Amino acid sequence: MSGPIEPQWSLLPDDPEAFFGLSGEYDLRDLKRKYNSYIRQFKPERFPEEFQNIRAAFERLNDALRYHERPRSSSIQPDLQFDWNFNELTHQDPQSGELPPELVKPRAFPWPDDAHPVERSDGLSAQSDPQRLHERINVESLPGIFEDLKQKEEKSPYDYYTLAVLSDVQQEKTHSFAYWLLEGLQAHPDEPALFELLRQYFANQPASDGLPELLEATARIIRTDRFYYLTERAWDELLRHDAFSDFREHLETCEANLLDHRIDHMLVFYLHILKTAVWKASDHWLREKFGEIEAHYDRLPYWAEEEIDFLEQINQYRSQRSEFLEGGPIRAMIDQAIFDYCTQRESDADRSFLECQNQLVSLEEEVLREFDVPQEDFGIALYLWERISSDVLERIADDLDPEQTDSLEIRAKKLGHRLLTDGVGTRFRIFHYSFAILGIGIFGTIGLMIYYLIYILDSFWINLLKIFGIMIADFVILLLVGALQDWVIRGYYRSWWRFELMRYYQTQWFPLHDLAAELEQIKSIKVGDEEREGLDKIAEAMRKDVGLFLFVNAQRLLTACQ
C-alpha cells in the first residue's frame, strides 16, 4: 500500500486550487475534505511551517467560496512582463450589482502626515523609466528609486506595489505597505491584484497598532459590499483582543462609509463574526444582528442554515451558561473548551479541545460523579459538544471508526447478555420477578372489584366506597412501585452497568445512542429456558447519562489521535 501523497508545495501561494486538486465546480465541502486530508498528514505540532502554508491556502479559498468571490493569484510581475492596463470605470446598470463611478469614487486618500509622498526639490521627474526596475536596483539606491516612484504623477499598479514593498524596506510607519496598496486602489479601483494583496495583508495578522485607523481608511476607498470580504480577518483580530465596545465603534464607523446597496457580503461577514461576538457582545447588539440575518434568510447561501443553527445554540447556551457552570470543575473545563473553539484560531482551539478530552478520560470518576444520572437537561451543551467533536475528529483521522467484525445487533446481544447475567444481573432478575409478582397482585384486585360490583345492590354506597378505595390504593402502589423500580435500576446502573459499558467502549465503537436504541429493541435475552428482561431500562439510563457520553467520546477522539 502506497504512502500519503506529497503535496505540490511549489503551487503555493499562487495556485491554491491546484494545490488542493480542485477544479471546475467545487464547494465548501469539497475544499474541507481536501484540507482535512492534508492537515492529518501535516499536524501543526510536527510540521508547523507546512501546516501554516496549508492553512493559509485553505483560508484563501474558503473565504472566496463563502463570499462568492473568484480566487485570484497574488503574484505580482513587473509591468514589463505583466500587462496591467487600467480600464476606467464605466457606468453600469444598477441591476448588474455595480455602483456608478460617482458613488464608488472615494474621498482624498487619508495618509498619515509622516507617510505622505513628499515633493522633491531637485525637480527630477520620474514620468518615464528608461531602465527596468530590476536593472535600476543593481545600480541605484533603494531610497532613490523610492523617491523617484513617489514623484511619478501617473503611477501604474505595479508602481504602487513597488512603493509598498520599498516602504517596508525604508521602515516607514506601521501599515505603510497597506496604505500604498490603498492609494493604488484609489487610482486603479478595478485592479484585482492590488485588491488581493491588500486582502492577504489583512489576513496575515497585521500589527494591531493603528489597525482600526487602517480599516477606516480602507472603508473610505473600498466603499462597496466587498469591504467585508477584504477585511474580515482583521476584524477577527480586533474582536479577539479589543473590548467589544471599541470593536463595535470601529465597525460602525467603517460601515457608515459604505455606499453599496448590496448586503450579501455583509450577511456572510456577520455569520462569521457572530461565532466570537456572541461571547462578548451585548444582548441588544446580538438581537439586532440575528434579526438582520433572519430578515434576509432567503439571500443566504446553502451552507448558512447549519451555521445559523450552531450560532443560535451558542447564543442559547450563553444564556444558560451560569447554571451549567454551577455543577463543578469538570463543567468549567468543558465550558472553556467550547469557548476556545468559538474564539481562538483553529489550531489553538483544537489543542484546547484535545487537552480537555485527555482530562475527561483521566478524571473518569469525577466525570461520572459530576454528571450523575438522571440529570437535568443538558441538550444544548451536548449538541455543541457533539458538533465540535465531529469537526475536530474530521481533522484528526480519516477512518474514525475501527473495523468491526460483527454487526451492531450481534455485539449489542453479546453486551446485553453480559449485562443481565454477570455482576448485578442475577440480583436484577430476582428484583424483576418480585415486581412481576407485585404487579400480578395489583391486577388481582380487579377480581375483588368485580365481586363488589356483583353484589353492589346489596349495599350500594358501601360497595362503591370499597371499589374507589381499592382503585386509589392500586394507583398509589403503582406510583410507589415505579419510583422504587427507578431507584433500584439507577443503583444497579451506577454500581455495575455503567462500568460495563465503559469497559465495552475501551475496545469497541458504536455511537452511544445507536447502541442504546439497539438494546432497547432487543429488550430481553434468553438464558436457557428463561427470558430475562431489562435492556430497555438500561438503554433509557444510557440516554440520560451525560457523563458516559462525554467519557466514551473522549476515548474515541484520543484513540483517533494515537
Same domain assignment for residues 391 and 416: no
Whether 522 is in a domain gets the answer: yes
Q: Give the cell for residue 159.
A: 508602481
Of 356, 374, 396, the residue that ends a domain is 396
Same domain assignment for residues 186 and 241: yes
Same domain assignment for residues 390 and 414: no
Backbone angles phi, psi at 258, to 5 degrees: -80, 135
Same domain assignment for residues 107 and 244: yes
Strand partners for 525: 532
Whether 72 is in a domain gets the answer: no
CATH code for position 59: 1.10.287
Whether 497 is in a domain gets the answer: yes
Question: Using H for helix, E for strand and C for coil, what is the string for 181-235?
Answer: HHHHHHHCCCCHHHHHHHHHHHHCCCCCCCHHHHHHHHHHHCCCCCHHHHHHHHH
Q: What is the pTM of this model?
A: 0.76
The domain of 453 spans 408-561
Digit-by-digit pLDDT tens for the chain (562 residues) are 455 678 899 999 889 999 999 988 888 999 999 999 999 889 888 899 999 999 999 999 999 999 988 776 555 544 433 333 333 323 333 333 343 343 333 333 444 444 444 343 333 333 444 467 767 777 888 888 888 889 998 999 999 999 998 988 776 678 999 999 999 999 999 899 999 999 999 998 777 889 999 999 999 999 999 999 999 999 999 998 899 999 999 999 999 999 987 899 999 999 999 999 999 999 999 999 999 999 998 888 888 999 999 999 999 999 889 988 988 899 999 999 999 999 999 989 999 999 999 999 888 888 888 887 655 667 888 889 989 998 988 888 765 555 556 788 888 888 888 888 876 555 555 555 455 555 555 555 655 555 555 555 556 666 666 666 666 766 666 666 656 666 667 777 877 888 888 888 877 777 888 888 999 898 888 777 777 777 888 888 888 888 888 988 888 887 777 6
Q: How many domains does the chain fold into?
A: 4
Same domain assignment for residues 344 and 412: no
What Å distances lie between residue 6 and 89, 148, 347, 395, CA to CA? 44, 45, 22, 18
| DSSP helix/strand/coil, 260 | coil
Whether 550 is in a domain gets the answer: yes
What element of type H or E holds 276? Answer: helix 264-277
Whether 14 is in a domain gets the answer: yes
Of 236, 262, 288, the residue that ends a domain is 262
Contact 106, 220 (CB under 8 A): yes
Same domain assignment for residues 106 and 237: yes
Whether 403 is in a domain gets the answer: no
Contact 235, 251 (CB under 8 A): yes
Whether 402 is in a domain gets the answer: no
> What are the b/e assignments for 204-224, b being 16+ CB within 10 Å?
eebeeebbbebbbbbbbbbbb
Same domain assignment for residues 474 and 539: yes
Q: Angle between the 425-454 and 408-421 helix axes, to the nearest 10 degrees?
A: 80
Same domain assignment for residues 419 and 543: yes
Same domain assignment for residues 380 and 231: no
Hey, how many other C-beta atoms are within 10 angstroms of the C-beta on 257?
Answer: 17
Q: Give the cell for residue 549.
A: 457520553
Q: Give the cell for residue 114.
A: 509622516
Whether 304 is in a domain gets the answer: no
Same domain assignment for residues 113 and 246: yes
Rounded Cα distance between 329 and 367, Å, is 10
323: phi > 0 → left, psi -120 to 50 → alpha, else beta; which? Answer: alpha
Of 372, 396, 420, the residue that ends a domain is 396
Same domain assignment for residues 41 and 184: no
Same domain assignment for residues 110 and 250: yes
| DSSP helix/strand/coil, 547 | helix
Backbone angles phi, psi at 228, to 5 degrees: -65, -45
